[in-house]
Amino acid sequence: MRVLIAGSGGREHALAWALARSDPPVELHAAPGNPGIAALATCHPVRTEDADGLLGLARSLETDLVVFGPEAPIVAGAGDRLRGAGIAVFGPSAAAARIEGSKSFAKDVLQAVGVPVPQPLDAAAAPCVIKADGLAGGKGVFVCHDQQELDTALQAATAFGDSIVIEELLEGEELSVFALCDGSQALALPSVQDFKRAEDGDAGPNTGGMGSYSPVPEVSDALVEEIRATVHQPVVDELARRGTPFHGVLYAGLMLTAAGPRVLEFNVRFGDPETQAVLPRLRSDLLELMQRATRPGGLAGARLEWDPRSAVTVVLASRGYPVSSSSGDVIHGLDLVPAEVEVTHAGTEAIDGDVVTAGGRVLNVTAFGETTQDARTHAYAAADVIRFDGRQLRRDIAA
């Protein structure tokens, strides 16, 4: 069995780690991959945006399944190009991926099925939330409590495109719930929460995510099932009704308000860094689940098994992130991390025998514990043996 993972970040490393546990063993390849993924898979210098290059590589490898990590190639139709050539793909069609690619389209779908969302506003006035309408790499949402934050948000949001969405500002705890989908049904994964702001206490600018933990103790299995039944499943049903069945993972970003869950956004791929805290807990065979999700109705009867322990992921970022990033700084201490701790590479490069920084978010450190507090203690202990110039991290992940 040959699997090709398209991507090069921490999420893709976590996917590779989970797929490497498959039984029987799987032959893993990655395009382009990174130094961490290279320990588990053969990496190929093909960019995820290069649909023709991915198709040629998949054909040459006689790949059985292509797994997309990032959203951009999915929304651009790279998966359609591969499927059209008869190659199985874990990821939705470009038409179904509009649920992430266009927030306006997502709102239309959600309103059609009555999923509760923040109220749209006709004009930008604080307090409110400003969202870039298209893809923004997880950085296109701006919470505005006052006029100064609003002015900054409007300028920043237009950098992602001319179209923006204005919504009411909700109060509550944010939550992420992923669901594996086979075109007709959704199968929920455990609750997970990420930390978007750059600094402790949810201060500083938005980032792609500075850490995560799973499960969220305050979120019961019953609530996760309620969210699946009232959020994911109606959306899957509506997309199928429109002739664009959704295959892959549907990620709902939610706000738990006093009036109940409200959907903030949908994504069409695993979240980053939420995946790094969720997939290490998975005891079921991820490859089998992904294969079943590519087939209409393939997840019927599927059951998921999970490690009952908590997992906490801490992101180590480079100097200047998220405004800028530092590259080429040698990373020390990876050999000192305990074997039971997973370190996934997000922005690294191998140069002359050294692993160096090569992006904003550099590494993700994930540890288990019987409680969330135990897991975060182990994660921070491991994170603190890793050093590179300009290293930054939040100290309150899962606190």
- Residue 104, pLDDT score: 85
Using an 8 Å Cβ cutoff, are 397 and 377 in contact? no
How does residue 218 score in pLDDT terms, banded at 50, 70 and 90?
very high
Count Cβ atoms within 10 A of the Cβ of residue 322 and give its class: 0-12 exposed, 13-18 middle, 19 or more buried.
Answer: buried
Q: Each residue of 337-392: pLDDT tens digit?
A: 999 999 999 999 999 999 999 999 999 999 999 999 999 999 999 999 999 999 99
- Residue 156, pLDDT score: 87
The tokens of 71 are what? 């959203």
- Residue 165, pLDDT score: 87
Q: Is the pLDDT of residue 28 over 80?
A: yes
Return the minimum-mean-pLDDT range out of 91-105, 137-151, 297-311, 318-332. Answer: 137-151
Q: Is 171-293 assigned to CATH 2.60.40.1220?
A: no
Q: Is the pLDDT of residue 135 over 90?
A: no
What's the mean per-residue pLDDT of the chain? 95
Q: Is the pLDDT of residue 138 over 90?
A: no
Using an 8 Å Cβ cutoff, are 367 and 311 in contact? yes
Average pLDDT (278-303) is 97
Of the segments 21-25, 42-46, 126-130, which one has the largest average pLDDT value? 42-46
Q: Is the pLDDT of residue 136 over 90?
A: no
Q: Is the pLDDT of residue 115 over 90?
A: yes
CA gap 287, 100 in Å, rounded? 24
| Residue ranges of domains in the chain | 2-94, 128-168, 171-293, 310-383
Return the minimum-mean-pLDDT range out of 41-45, 156-160, 237-241. Answer: 156-160
CA gap 67, 90 in Å, rounded? 5
For the chain, the three-class secondary structure string (H helix, E strand, C coil) is: CEEEEEECCHHHHHHHHHHCCCCCCCEEEEEECCCCHHHCCEECCCCCCCHHHHHHHHHHHCCCEEEECCCHHHHHCHHHHHHHCCCCEECCCCCCCHHHHCHHHHHHHHHHHCCCCCCECCCCCCCEEEEECCCCCCCCEEEECCHHHHHHHHHHHHHHCCCEEEECCCCCEEEEEEEEEECCCEEECCCEEECCEEEHHHEEEECCCCEEEECCCCCCHHHHHHHHHHHHHHHHHHHHHCCCCCEEEEEEEEEEECCEEEEEEEECCCCCCHHHHHHHHECCCHHHHHHHHCCCCCCCCCCCCECCCEEEEEEEECCCCCCCCCEEEECECHHHCCCCCEEEECCEEEECCEEEEECCEEEEEEEEECCHHHHHHHHHHHHCCCECCCCECCCCCCC
Q: Is the pLDDT of residue 185 over 80?
A: yes
Average pLDDT (267-275) is 97
CA gap 266, 106 in Å, rounded? 7
- Residue 50, pLDDT score: 96
Using an 8 Å Cβ cutoff, are 115 and 259 in contact? no
Q: Each residue of 187-207: pLDDT tens digit?
A: 999 999 999 999 999 999 889
Q: Is 2-94 assigned to CATH 3.30.420.40?
A: no
How does residue 131 score in pLDDT terms, banded at 50, 70 and 90?
confident
How does residue 58 score in pLDDT terms, banded at 50, 70 and 90?
very high
Using an 8 Å Cβ cutoff, are 362 and 316 in contact? yes
CB atoms within 10 A of CB 134: 17
CA gap 382, 278 in Å, rounded? 18
- Residue 160, pLDDT score: 85
Alpha carbon separation from 255 to 171, 230, 264, 303, 398 (Å, rounded): 8, 14, 7, 27, 17
- Residue 206, pLDDT score: 86
Average pLDDT (153-157) is 89
- Residue 233, pLDDT score: 98
- Residue 139, pLDDT score: 74
How does residue 292 score in pLDDT terms, banded at 50, 70 and 90?
very high
Average pLDDT (102-111) is 90
CA gap 209, 213 in Å, rounded? 12
Rg of the chain taking only CA atoms, in angstroms: 20
Alpha carbon separation from 203 to 196, 200, 210, 244 (Å, rounded): 9, 6, 12, 39
Alpha carbon separation from 229 to 109, 179, 264 (Å, rounded): 16, 11, 17
CA gap 263, 235 in Å, rounded? 12
Sign of CA dihedral 199, 203, 207, 208: positive
Return the minimum-mean-pLDDT range out of 150-159, 258-267, 337-346. Answer: 150-159
What is the fold of 310-383? Glycinamide Ribonucleotide Synthetase; Chain A, domain 4 (3.90.600)
Whole-number percent of the chain with pLDDT over 90: 88
Predicted TM-score (pTM) of this structure: 0.93
Using an 8 Å Cβ cutoff, are 232 and 250 in contact? yes
